[in-house]
Structure 1
Amino acid sequence: MKKSTKRLASIAVGALLTAGALTACASGDTGGGDDGGDSAGAAKIGLLLPETKTTRYEAFDRPLFEAKVAELGDYEVLYSNADQDAAKQQQQAESALASGVSVLVLDPVDGAAAASIVNLANAQDVPVVSYDRLITGGELAYYISFDNEKVGELQGTALVEKLEADGKAEGGILMVNGSPTDGNATLFKEGAHSVIDESGLKVLAEYDTPDWSPDKAQEWVAGQISQYRDEIAGVYAANDGTAGGAIAALKAANVTPLPVVTGQDAELAAIQRIVAGDQYMTIYKAIKDEAELAAEIAVKLANGEEVTGDTDVDGTPATLLEPVVVTVDNILDTVVADGFYTVEDICTPEYADACAAAGIQ
């Protein structure tokens, strides 16, 4: 994929709000691709998300998107989750198109395979918004995501700087990358390598985690511990799920102290691991901004309006939001300040003492 022609300095989400009366809409949960709603006369918007192993999609992306669409007018959301199955997502897309959606918002299981969905939608004059992961084929109407190569750069930089501060600038690391079918995972890895390869760190072994599976990440890391145990100073984990799997393997093997572990997505469990000192950092992405902007773009496209981006990616108008590093030192200033979590969410009884020690209260 070509890099975007410019970096996004700021976003103007409000500029995309649809004018006119705002009324509530019904939202249809299609689950396996069936229409669960019955909003007579309402324009239909398809929302297809890729999987549930990453908690963000069901906990944040879907409800935030649906709430924003409801705010913007009388539209019905036909929702499906593909459970990391590209063939299932193809069927869900075909079902949504057969149901008469005016626009598809598609977060692909497999960015290349999803091109067939885009082509099918194009043939029916249904615009497609590529959401969070880039679809590499077909004529896209818009692309909304984060600067994914920068995500990897931030992860790599945090890992290198922490190990340098700990006096382990030439230590060994494991790289637990994301799914090989996710184009974003490729960008995370490229960004991380651009930093790590220039450092004194030694990559002991590297793994592309099928389906972003925490269990598979745990199994792989467990195998590496038996070979490299005392050499492991850090673990580059591409997201919080794989980080959790890596940490579980390290704890099961009684590795102490725990290596420096990265992550991404600011999952609640990861924030709690950071508070407890088990995970060093995560990447916070403003999913609310992403989901709401996707809803605004979808409504505009459903109404036949023209949309323009802040930048472009491979000739597609795009918005790339800015990722933020979260460590124990800025939890209050990031995920709590944005209302992503409350202190009460994070500081459950199990983490109360660690929260107090970190000044999170």
Structure 2
Amino acid sequence: MAKEVKIGMAIDDLRLERWQKDRDIFVNKAESLGAKVFVQSANGNEETQMSQIENMINRGVDVLVIIPYNGQVLSNVIKEAKQEGIKVLAYDRMINNADIDFYISFDNEKVGEMQAQSLVDKVPQGNYFLMGGSPVDNNAKLFRAGQMKVLKPYVDEGKIKIVGDQWVDGWLPENALKIMENALTANNNKIDAVVASNDATAGGAIQP
């Protein structure tokens, strides 16, 4: 009989609906293939995530699937995992300065282009506010690069004016809401479009 594969799934923040859906799909598929999955959420805290990964290593998992809160700080725990012969997969977000086995993601710059283009199609001129994702998430920077590819020609022509630019800590909607309230106050409510980098930040932005 084949050995049961044990997978540790370390998730950035299960308060975000997107990760809840990804967790459910991943766990259901892995279990259907005979694997056992241990899931933990760091709730947007890098120290918590490092501790959780160490706990999974100590539990003897065979594979680590990590959605990092901060991909810059995990090199030491990844080194520990590799020393134990554990395979490491970075899911959606890159883990930097670490010997990972796999990296699965999207073309995040293209995603940013599509986000900006959908707004430009509806609001081809006016005051734009840029609401980026978490400042410690490399994907947020890739989204922004793609967004600016689309927006820059309109900015250069004077059709679009960028009246503000903020990053949303943890991608949390409550943080996006506070940023949006301050932005509206600072601009006398004269904001025509908000380039939000995911559903959670967009959800916070539309509340005021």
TM-score relative to the length of structure 1? 0.54
Q: Within 5 Å, which residues of 2 pair with 1:256-271?
A: none
**What's the secondary structure of 2:98's corresponding residue?**
coil
**What's the secondary structure of 1:207's corresponding residue?**
strand
1:234 shift after superposition: 0.5
Q: Which residue of 2 aligns with 1:218?
A: 177
Q: 1:115 to 1:198 in 2, by over 3 A?
A: farther
Question: Is 2:117 aligned against 1:162?
Answer: no
Rounded to whole Å, the distance in 2 between the matches of 1:77 and 1:136 is 24
Q: Report if the CA contact (8 A) 1:176-1:235 is conserved.
A: yes
Rounded to whole Å, the distance in 1 between the matches of 2:43 and 2:163 is 32
Q: Which residue of 2 aligns with 1:292?
A: none
Rounded to whole Å, the distance in 2 between the matches of 1:67 and 1:53 is 20
Deviation string 1:156-181 (CA, Å, 9 cap, x unpaired) is: 111112112xxxx2x11111110001
Q: Which residue of 2 aligns with 1:181?
A: 136
Q: How many residue pairs were aligned?
A: 204
Q: Which residue of 2 aligns with 1:66?
A: 27
Q: Within 5 Å, which residues of 2 pair with 1:290-301?
A: none
Runs of 4+ aligned structure 1 residues displaced above 6 Å come to: none
**What's the secondary structure of 1:110's corresponding residue?**
coil
Residue identity opposite 2:180 in structure 1? V
Rounded to whole Å, the distance in 2 between the matches of 1:145 and 1:233 is 31
Match of 1:152 among 112, 115, 133: 112
Rounded to whole Å, the distance in 1 between the matches of 2:135 and 2:11 is 17
Match of 2:203 among 226, 232, 244: 244
Question: Is 2:194 aligned against 1:232?
Answer: no
Q: Within 5 Å, which residues of 2 pair with 1:121-136?
A: 121-136=81-96
Rounded to whole Å, the distance in 2 between the matches of 1:191 and 1:180 is 16
Rounded to whole Å, the distance in 2 between the matches of 1:194 and 1:155 is 11
Match of 2:51 among 74, 79, 91: 91
Deviation string 1:122-157 (CA, Å, 9 cap, x unpaired) is: 222211000011111211111111111111110011
1:101 shift after superposition: 0.7
Rounded to whole Å, the distance in 2 between the matches of 1:92 and 1:230 is 43
Question: Is 2:38 aligned against 1:78?
Answer: yes
Deviation string 1:218-270 (CA, Å, 9 cap, x unpaired) is: 11111121221353111111111111211112xxxxxxxxxxxxxxxxxxxxx
Q: Report if the CA contact (8 A) 1:53-1:212 is conserved.
A: no
Rounded to whole Å, the distance in 2 between the matches of 1:127 and 1:231 is 51
1:116 shift after superposition: 2.5
1:56 shift after superposition: 1.7
**What's the secondary structure of 2:32's corresponding residue?**
helix
Residue identity opposite 1:50 in structure 2? D
In structure 2, the gaps of 5 or more residues are none
Match of 2:13 among 51, 56, 81: 51
Match of 1:198 among 147, 153, 158: 153
Residue identity opposite 1:95 in structure 2? N
Q: Report if the CA contact (8 A) 1:174-1:236 is conserved.
A: yes
Residue identity opposite 2:137 in structure 1? D
Residue identity opposite 2:135 in structure 1? P
Rounded to whole Å, the distance in 1 between the matches of 2:90 and 2:118 is 29
Q: Within 5 Å, which residues of 2 pair with 1:276-287?
A: none
**What's the secondary structure of 2:153's corresponding residue?**
coil
For the pair shown, which has the larger CA radius of gyration, 1 or 2?
1
Rounded to whole Å, the distance in 1 between the matches of 2:201 and 2:15 is 10
Q: 1:70 to 1:197 in 2, by over 3 A?
A: same
Identity, in percent, stands at 34
Rounded to whole Å, the distance in 2 between the matches of 1:176 and 1:44 is 38
1:212 shift after superposition: 1.1
**What's the secondary structure of 1:198's corresponding residue?**
helix
